[in-house]
Amino acid sequence: MNRSTAAIAPSAAKTKKSSYFRSRWNAPLAGYLFISPWLIGFLALTAYPLFLSLYYSFTDYTLLQPMKWIGTRNYERIFTADPKFIQSAKVTFTYVLASVPLKLIAALFVAIILSKAVKGISFYRTAIYFPSLIGGSIGVSLLWRNIFGVDGIFNKLIGVFGFEGKGWITSPDTALSTLILLTVWQFGSTMVIFLAGLKQIPNDLYEASSVDGANKITQFFRITLPMLSPILYFNLIMAVIGAFQMFTSAFVITNGGPMNSTYVYAMYLYERAFSRYELGYASALAWIMLVAIIAATVLISYTSKYWVFYETDTGGKKRK
């Protein structure tokens, strides 16, 4: 190669690379134009407020006084001098640890029942799914408060069998349990996803295991659960994220009481932001919740290699 050729080669390579990137941008230009409404909405309504709240979390911002940068003082105050933070976090973790497994178990149990081909099964599926459509509404929360009140339907029902009722939502021992029960009752969406997963399990597996002498319990643990593990993994993550953000039920039914027994984290964040107008402090609380949700999701994802099985997995070998 002579000197002129050697000098031209890098320039030609650079031009070719530049042309490649221009073609890569021009090719999907129509696609970017089509998604531009969503992209603009995401940047303006999600990304910008997200990073703005991160900035606010390092400031003393109360809407009543000029914003002042205070560094990590909000976070230091939360972890060292805020007993309500500890109380709300404890209630929230208790709620998550109790409601998520019960909701998944109830959803899977009902999904297995509704997977049977019986007359009128479409009506039953619709009826059971319906509460999930209105489950997060204020009206349902008000209805739940009336059901478990002192003069509610639940006390009248157990009174028929000779049991003495009480104020289930006014007792610190049972108030959180009523909210957990409401969450479990709203298992419709989770059940539908489980039901779709059950439909994808080949019936040949059950027939072959029956020939080998496997009973229903063995089939459930050896076939149904492993085949449903990716669906279970998805439902678990979605349920955990939703449980951490629970607010409406606690706010409407108990308003955090009695004795702060249902004072969940989202209620404390709401109080700081919209009752005391401490937006900087509330932003710090929101980012702590985000980190907690991310940590829980990462933990579930890390442990999933031991209990989630895919079709590409080789038998008896753990995924790395």
Confidence of residue 15 (pLDDT cuts 50, 70, 90): low
| C-alpha distances out from residue 75 to 64, 80, 86, 263, Å | 21, 9, 13, 20
pTM for the structure as a whole:
0.84
Confidence of residue 25 (pLDDT cuts 50, 70, 90): low
Q: What is the pLDDT of residues 231-272, one digit of tens each?
A: 999 999 999 999 999 998 999 999 998 899 999 999 999 999
In the chain, where are the structural domains located? 29-72, 82-305
- As a whole number of angstroms, the distance between CA 235 and CA 237 comes to 6
Give the tokens for residue 313: 């997995």
Ranking 4-13, 108-117, 152-161, 264-273 by mean pLDDT, the lowest is 4-13
Q: What is the pLDDT of residues 101-146, one digit of tens each?
A: 999 999 999 999 888 877 777 777 778 777 777 766 787 888 888 8
4 vs 293, higher pLDDT: 293
Confidence of residue 314 (pLDDT cuts 50, 70, 90): low
Give the tokens for residue 288: 């702590």
- As a whole number of angstroms, the distance between CA 141 and CA 147 comes to 10
Q: Is 259 left (phi over 0), alpha (psi -120 to 50) or beta?
A: left
Note the pLDDT of residue 23: 58
Note the pLDDT of residue 197: 92
- If DSSP codes are grouped into helix, strand and coil, which group holds residue 67? coil
Note the pLDDT of residue 11: 54
Q: What is the pLDDT of residues 27-66, one digit of tens each?
A: 577 778 888 999 999 999 999 999 999 999 999 998 888 8
Question: Any idea which residue has 């933070």 for tokens?
Answer: 85
Average pLDDT score over the chain: 86
Query: How would CATH label the architecture of 82-305?
Result: Orthogonal Bundle (1.10)
Give the tokens for residue 218: 């063995």
Q: Burial letters for 87-109: b for 16+ Cβ neighbours within 10 Å, e otherwise?
A: bbbebbbebbebbbebbbebbbe
